[in-house]
Structure 1
Amino acid sequence: MKANTKKLFQYLDSLETAIGPCILLIIFLDVILQVISRTLPGNAIPWTVELGEILLGALIWLGIGVGVTKNSHVSFDLLLRRFSKKWRRIVCLWNINLFIGYLFLLAIFTVQLLGFYQKLSAKSTILQIGMFWIRLPILIGCALTIIRLIRKELTVIKDKSQTCITDHTIK
């Protein structure tokens, strides 16, 4: 069971790493299309703005997931390196729990917002996509990041050499 879970997370990590650049490429092409369409008189393509917004939201949550997995928050790293190994672990665990708390609150508020969107049948202005579907990645991102943070916390608790420094990836 443990090996299957590890393989699942490795697969998700590689999937995120592959999807991120694809989304970035689509955003780049979307922006080029926006610029070209706005420089030609009367040819503005309004849906490109909404598409860019939706994809940017997805890219942000993918980036958060990758950042949590690879411990790649530069400013936090610089601060942590100033502490002894014991205090690094304490600060690391404190930080993980603070982040989990924040994401939990964000998830609660997102559930409320999604319920509001469902009740009103709110849609995006141009593409007419339900706002529920546009904002759902926030809830999914919160849930996946909380799972990753719990895994990270368990790793730090079990392995005394783990200190949330960039060179320590979640195992």
Structure 2
Amino acid sequence: MKPTEFKKRFQSAFGELPDGVDLDLGKFREFPREQVESLQISEKDKSILREVGFPEDAAPFLSFTYNLERMNELQSSLGEEFASFRVFGHNGSGDFISIDEADGSICYHNHDNRMQRIFINSSLSQFAEALCLMAEAIEADYSIDFIGALSDIDSAAWKDRTFWPSEYEMMKE
């Protein structure tokens, strides 16, 4: 999926709002160019951040408000083992969402459980597709095969103790 396709697909998942109603749904934010260029990730993933940015907010309860700082620089109590994590968002509990430059994966760190790393997706591109899929599932009142579609996008994202299984079930309730 090209960056512009990601943005269009994500924004179109919200459907039409009545005239005069603006909820800022699907608003994208840009990241500092020098931070994007310094990332040690694939060009495909960099191009998303470079060309369209990322949604300011997305289901399930995610916000993308950080500027790709190194996790151990944002939180000085964290050691060098957190230097490969570039923070670009947080979940509803305030846990950092980051890109792991060691392998390009997306994860969050559970601050209530000694910064336990929780896998989200194998790459930023796959995370972008998963966010679109979640928005589409919500709009379709969960009638689409989210599990099957997510497995096609990123088979590692549906394993036990990863982000999506519990979040999807919680959103359906």
Q: Which has the larger radius of gyration?
A: 1
Fold in common (TM above 0.5): no
Specify which structure has the higher proportion of strand.
Answer: 2
Q: Which one scores higher on RCO, CA 8 angstroms, separation ≥ 6?
A: 1
**TM-score category (smaller protein):** under 0.3
Specify which structure has the higher proportion of helix.
Answer: 1
